[in-house]
Chains A and B, each alone.
Chain A
Amino acid sequence: MQLTPDDQIVFMIGNLAINRTIFNTWVIMAALTVVSMLITRQLRPDVPPNRWRTTLEVIVIGIQEQISEVTQRRDPRLLHFAGTLFLFIVTANVLTVVPGFDTPTASLSTTVALALSVLAAVPMFGIGSRGLRGYLRTFIEPSVIMLPFNIIGEFSRGISLAIRLYGNIMSGAVIAAILLGIAPFFFPVAMDMLGLLTGVIQAYIFAVLATVYIAAAIAPPDSDGGPHTEDPT
């Protein structure tokens, strides 16, 4: 039993093996891009919005509102980053119900990559907001003694993000596969339904935590800096 789709090679590009994780990620990327292009290609102010455009607007505005509630500001760069995290993860998690589709989020490599992206985005947003000195000062607040703990906490966030998402998605897929062998008619369906709910919730949690981390690194709307927020989980 394979626990990760990284071992399934789909095709080779030279010496670079394209495994199932990367291939399915491309499929998800293509699906998201094509759907977005199809819906927004005739987007003009004089054309009344149709139901698909309205659905996309609701999703985008909902993400933006969630980010605004966390950060108390409207930052389009944060919307692009956190929104893409949520849309990619939720799409990948929902596609677990497709038979034969190995979701990329069931790969620890994917969740580590997403967690590393968040770990890289946090200092980038923080430096962009506070400046390099202001961002580094957050590691010695409230005192210099807290410097090693803040560094450890910074990395533990990425580890917890990666492990949390990978564990939830991979466990759901593994449990569904095990139950498929034991009772192939009823339990896999129930577990897939539960997996859908879990996948959406995990996408939301991942995106919200990434937003919280970035929001803690950037300056508050009414001051130049603020306390460094610990992982709420």
Chain B
Amino acid sequence: MSIDWITVAAQALNFLVLVWLLRRFLYRPILDGIDSREKEIGERMAEAATIRQAAEAAQADLDARIATLHASRVDTLEAAHQSAEAEREAMLAEARRRLAVEQDEREAQRAEEARAYTAELHRSGAEALLSLTRKALSDLADETLEQRIVSHSAHRLSAIADQLRDAAGDTREAVAFTRDPLPHSVAERLREEFASILPGFTLRLDTDPALAAGLTLRLGGAQVAWTVDSYLDDLDAVLQDRTGRTVPSGFANAS
């Protein structure tokens, strides 16, 4: 066992060289690599933490939006329900209004048809009544209705001659209205009867299709009439009993 001091010095120098070599080619690259990798891992973890925070924030925002949507969905459904209910009520009201209008129109149409029918029935009845009366007078008494009216009116005029003379005032012309022109003989007889009852007065004959069958005399402020209106009123009563409706006026408003 001996010590070679030259070898000792060389080995000490070799060791120092080896320290430098390993520091240059082993420790520094390895430690730097580890440090850089740790740094990179740290950066990635920080980035992951940032991304995680962003994801959590996005999730929180999404949750809030979902909650808002749930809440607004209930409100929206309620509003839609109310709107639909209001629309339904409006449609029902419009339908009721249209139904009422249609009912009124149908009622008016039905009333008009009934009135027209009743008027036609009344007119037909009046024509039939006059025709039957004329036929009965002609067959049974050999007279016309106008002749009987003139005879009857002359009899009644003589009863109220004074009253007519007073009502005439300054007027010296009387007007006799008939619905249809009187036959010539009947007209002459009426003039004669009038002249005999009210001497000094003249009689003018005239027609008015709106009047009922008969004779209407106007003298000054007085007017007397002998028409079939009363009979037509009785006919109206009969028709009203049968139809349950009021017969339009127009045929029995004077006497």
Contact = CB atoms under 8 A, between A and B. Distances in A.
Nearest to B11: A113
B30 A60 contact: yes
A36 B2 contact: no
B49 interface: no
Nearest to A25: B14
Contact of B26 (A19, A22, A56): A56
A120 B24 CA distance: 22
B18 A88 contact: yes
Contact of B22 (A32, A44, A57, A110): A32
A109 B7 contact: yes
B42 to A, nearest CB: 12
A108 interface: yes
A194 interface: no
Contacts of B29: 36, 40, 43
Interface stretch (B31-39, B116-124, B184-192, B223-231): B31-39
Given A4-B2, A56-B30, A33 B14 contact: no
A26 interface: yes
B2 to A, nearest CB: 7
A4 B1 contact: yes
Contact of A112 (B8, B19, B21): B8
A79 B27 CA distance: 8
A109 B3 CA distance: 5
B11 A61 contact: no
B16 interface: yes
A22 B33 contact: no
Contacts of B19: 80-81, 84
Q: Classify chain A: how many residues form its interface, as a range.
A: 35 or more
- A interface, over-half SS: helix
Interface residues of B, number: 33
A33 B22 contact: yes
Interface string A208-232: 0000000000000000000000000
Contact of B33 (A6, A43, A88): A43
State the main secondary structure of chain B at its contact with A: helix
Given A19-B7, A80-B19, A113-B15, A40 B37 contact: no
Contact of A25 (B11, B22, B33, B37): B11
B26 A36 contact: yes
Interface string A175-186: 000000000000
A100 interface: no
Given A4-B1, A29-B18, A29-B21, A45 B33 contact: yes
Contact of A117 (B7, B16, B27, B37): B16
Contacts of A76: 27, 31
B241 interface: no
A88 B7 contact: no
B11 to A, nearest CB: 4
Contacts of B31: 60, 76
A6 B23 contact: no
A108 B3 contact: yes
A199 to B, nearest CB: 17
Those 7 A-B pairs whose CB atoms lie nearest each other, nearest first: A113-B11, A40-B29, A109-B7, A36-B26, A113-B12, A36-B25, A45-B36
Given A49-B33, A76-B31, A117-B16, 4 more contacts: A3-B1, A21-B11, A29-B18, A43-B29
17 contacts: A22-B7, A36-B26, A43-B32, A56-B30, A60-B31, A76-B27, A84-B18, A85-B15, A104-B11, A109-B3, A109-B4, A109-B7, A110-B11, A114-B15, A116-B8, A117-B12, A117-B16
